[in-house]
Structure 1
Amino acid sequence: MKKLLATLTLALAFIGCGGKKESNENTLYIYGWANTIPQSIYEAFEKETGIKVVEDIYSSNEEMFTKLKAGGNGYDIVMPSADYVEIMMKEGMLEKLDKNLLPSYSNLDPLVLEKLHHFDPENNYEVPYLIGATIIAVNKKYVPEFPRDYSIYEMSNLKGRMTLLDDMREVMTSALGMLNYPQTTEDEQAIAQAADLVKSWKKNIAKFDAESFGKGFASGDFWVVQGYPDNIFKELDENERANVELVIPEKGGTAYVDSFVMLNSAPHKDAAYKFLEFTLRPEIAAQFADLLETPSVNAPARELMTVKPLFEISDLKNVQVLRDIHSTLDLQNKYWQEILIAD
């Protein structure tokens, strides 16, 4: 999940940076996002199985991948977003799952699984636990009328009151989508056109911001922000939420699917399978979704949720999940650097 770098409070013991893990068969080592899995889930799993879960935290997919490639070992389960599941598959880092050991896999929504078919057509390498969207949040008190896509950033009357993510993949993918190009395009002319579009947006934004957009929106400094729903809505009370329009653009919109994956070097694979099957139970999956106010990827779990999600799975039907673009990453980054220094 795309998360903000914040103070990391671990629910369980913190492991050192890539040191050798103890080989106790009753211990499971997870490397994951902060504040994503409720501590109660780990506690319930340990009470039921006797297997203790020990968790390390990362703040970005890039941080996780770099650590593992540099020799961080001993982990059993990692929690990457879809583009990094794709990368890790290609790098031969992941265990092909034995679905005979995961009888509850059928609880997962086919729409969610389909989002991953471009690189894993049979969903053999991941157990999705979260789907989310990159949204445009609009404060209706100040912006009563607006287009429901990224052309909102062409509204010069909102100059200085809008932000875009400081994230090349998010912004460039949205610009390419607005121009009807796929995010994987290798056509430099298309990428250059997308960069020109972003430059036109840049003239109206206050800044590119991947850290404080939620707080800036809540304070009223910004009226339109591109960001992630949990980072925005957690800053707002119920009255403030009533003034917010959450826009998931069908054109240029992006989504993320985060999954549990098992490393092929996992030392505790039996324990890992037990944990994965545990998370596929509807009553457990509902807790993930309730924490982040997202729709559950687990269809039966939706009946057990106690928190109304900020959007529905059906809202994500036409949005793109970010993909591995290794063949054009340097090219896109070249144009992104031009965007950053442009007037």
Structure 2
Amino acid sequence: MKRLAISALLALSAGAASAQDVLHIYNWNNALSAETAKRFEAYCKCKLVQDYYGDNEEMLAKLSAGAKGYDMVFPTAFAVNTLLKQGKLQPIDKRKVPNWKNLDAGYLKINAPFDPGNQYAAPTVVTLTLLGYNETALKKAGVLDKANSWALVFDPAVLARIKGKVTVLDSQRELMSAALMYLGKDPNSTNSADLKAAADVIKKAKPYWAAFNNQSYIKELTVGNIWVAHGYSNDLFQAQQDAKKAKRPFALAYQPQKEGNILAVDNMTILKSAARPDLAHKFIDFMLDGKNAAEISNQIGATNPVTTAKAHFLPAIKANPVITLDPAKGRYIPLKDLDVKSRRELNRVWSQVKVGG
């Protein structure tokens, strides 16, 4: 999953909870607000203790190395499948999660290839990888009509009008997948011919880009230094809000691309070694309550898999078509995990993309 752009720091108090009433979770950085965490502690009459990671690989490596003491982890869909293959998860007892009924069936369908029967994972945070852009600048450049297509970052004829004003993610999976979708191919393809075709698209577009950028594209877009950013929906939401607060003389927008977008579904899961699966079930049920789920979207601009959350959205969130998207409409595709051979081939092609002309 991507960096979730909120500033709240988690400050949890033990309260009156006894020593044994503690839920230990291994969570994404800044994925849960202090207010929500405190309300859960009051609800369960327990203490919530969190460790953090910023990447699925980091979480998987730590668990594989023998990390103990966690009750829950929050893997993206493909990493759910990895944990299942490793035998690290226990099924969710839906009798203990009455709010399971609030989950959008569309997200359960997206999760199903990674979690057959939707037995082990409950969707909680959803993001899209798409294009954010300076609407004002693109209109002046005459390319605003291309914002709904990956052509905005891959077509040299379009890029010639906005040269030096585009950044793309420094991520082999995300950028190669975007190029594959632009070509009408499966974004998870590991076919050598498909990867070569995607690499060729990137090489032709690269001279027009300002940078590969994972770290500062929010700021660069917000201040107007770049006009187009390939990034994550919650980050682009933050850029849009920051520009409004700063009263910039331009409007920022973001939208899905017609050829398709990578969708990341992060999930609540219970480890087989959990000391307190009872508290873990309480946490899942708590987070599937509409009001509690809505705080995620209201604070970080993430798409929400809980149908009853929408009633608690702030007006601007409710009006945002990306945050309230219907997973059954559009081409929203999750990344799949790769085997060793496919990873090696992708790494080889990516190295050529980065160092080549």
Normalised to the residue count of structure 2, the TM-score between the two structures is 0.87
Aligned: 1:231 with 2:235: yes
Consecutive unaligned residues of structure 2, counting only runs of 5 or more, are none
1:138 aligns with 2:153: no
Alpha-carbon distance between aligned partners in 2 of 1:243 and 1:265, rounded to the nearest angstrom: 49
Counterpart of 1:164 in structure 2: which amino acid? V
Measured against aligned partners, the alpha-carbon deviations of 1:135-159 in whole angstroms (never above 9, x if no partner) come to 2011122111241211112222212
Equivalent position to 1:44, from 18, 39, 45: 39
Shift of 1:25: 3.1
Report the Cα offset of residue 295 of structure 1. Answer: 3.6
How much has 1:128 moved relative to structure 2? 0.7
Distance (Å, rounded) in 2 between the aligned partners of 1:163 and 1:6: 22
- CA offset at residue 308 of structure 1? 2.8
Aligned to 2:308: 300
Q: What amino acid maps onto 2:332 in structure 1? A: V
Matching of residues 1-343 of structure 1 within 5 Å: 1-3=1-3, 9-12=9-12, 24-144=19-139, 145-146=143-144, 147=146, 148-153=148-153, 154=155, 155-235=159-239, 236-238=242-244, 239-240=247-248, 243-309=251-317, 310=320, 311=322, 312-314=324-326, 317-326=330-339, 328-343=342-357
CA distance in 2, matches of 1:220, 1:98: 49
Residue 8 and residue 68 in structure 1: after superposition, are their counterparts in 2 closer, same or farther (change >3 A)? farther
Distance 1:68 1:281 in 2: 29
Displacement, 1:294?
Answer: 3.0
| 1:198-218 superposed Cα distances (whole Å, 9 cap, x missing partner) | 112212111111111111111
For the Cα contact (< 8 Å) 2:129–2:230, is it kept in 1? yes
Question: 1:28, CA displacement in angstroms?
Answer: 0.4
Question: How many equivalent residue pairs?
Answer: 334
State the percentage of identical aligned residues. Answer: 29
Distance 1:62 1:241, change over 3 A: farther
Q: Evaluate the alpha carbon distance shift between residue 78 and residue 240 of structure 1 in structure 2; reply closer, same or farther with a 3 A threshold.
A: farther
Query: Within 1, Cα distance between the matches of 2:10 and 2:313?
Result: 24
Contact conserved, 1:4 with 1:210, CA < 8 A, in 2? no
CA root-mean-square deviation? 2.3
Give, as a single letter, the amino acid of the residue that structure 1 aligns with 2:325: I
Distance in 1, Cα, partners of 2:99 & 2:249:
36
> Which ranges of structure 1 fall in alignment gaps of 5 or more residues?
14-22
Question: Are the equivalent residues in 1 in contact too, given 2:29–2:54 (CA < 8 A)?
Answer: yes
Q: CA shift at 1:242, angstroms?
A: 6.6
Given that 1:36 and 1:291 are in contact with CA atoms closer than 8 Å, whether structure 2 keeps it comes out as no
Secondary structure of the structure 1 residue equivalent to 2:111: coil
Secondary structure of 2:35's partner? helix
What's the CA shift for 1:5?
Answer: 10
* AA matched with 1:322: L
Q: Give the deviation of 1:192 after TM superposition.
A: 1.0
